[in-house]
Structure 1
């Protein structure tokens, strides 16, 4: 995959990445505020404002990350999907499910944890109020895959290093580090997921492949969480 070097210094590249990551971190904070307002019977106007701000931030980050992605790859239009792309997605999906299952078993055996700290935090946000639950569900399935793949795969792997293994490794480590983990196996679940998503993107050369794969993973996880919360 050809990368176009636009001459931006490492310092500014790091600043660009940090800015995009901040945009990813803010929405969960807004969800906590929605839960607090709902718990305390806060004004409905503030809750509506927070809902609007929540989705607006996702849109702004998508626009900014898309611009950076196009700038550093030179890709103005997305490439057409072919049969091979679905093989990449399916292979990546099976690899993530297998690795997650193995690390989860290790996590349960060594630390008696049946879920990661990240999933526990998501459940806590979703159980606060019905509004927060559906906000998280919608964003996790339809917006988070786009945002995180543009940032951690589309932008990050094209900003730093020339060697493919370093690009993929950095993407996996940054992705894993930004997901809450209290044990080594749970940390490795997200690092491995990031590595596989990055590998799918770099092998296919199409950001849509990793977005679709991320969508499938999140859709499955959200479905299980919602069913558990509603029962």
Structure 2
């Protein structure tokens, strides 16, 4: 599909070949929203390498926003810290990322689709109203996100019991309803919720519910939950 203001590209190679110059042309603002480190890294890095341009240039604001899927393991955390050390601002959203996107200089938005047989479609949009809408969504999520320095460790590995409790928190069930759903006493349920909140570093049930949505979303593959 192609119009003057909307172009759909298929796969990272075509993204770099036909849109790589847009990455290199960024001068004021380069915003990235992604569920994890895989969606954009290969294409963006290839474009900057081919253009022989450093990612961080004077006067350019670079911000990268990820869901907690990006903290899936120690190596991912190390990669994020290297990104932050290069001068790029990095934040982590407790909830899922509504739309994986790149916004360049308030003029261009690139939206990533879900992989189909291992290949993503990327939609390049130049329509001002759409670009501003994507940018506004990014800014709202960014403001509520956590700085990387406050995300010192990846989330704990989840047991089946922990996943069940997280689902009750994400659904907003009362303790009584959660205990009934899991077939345990109210006292046992509350104790397990408290233990899980401590492991997640959640300071409230509300925060635990937000973290639950992010973590359970992070366990979903391209065809749904695993």
After TM superposition, the score normalised by the length of structure 2 is 0.22
Between Structure 1 and Structure 2, whose CA radius of gyration is higher? 2
Which structure carries more relative contact order (alpha carbon 8 Å, separation 6+)?
A: 1
After TM superposition, the score normalised by the length of structure 1 is 0.21
Query: Quick check: which one's strand share is greater?
Result: 2
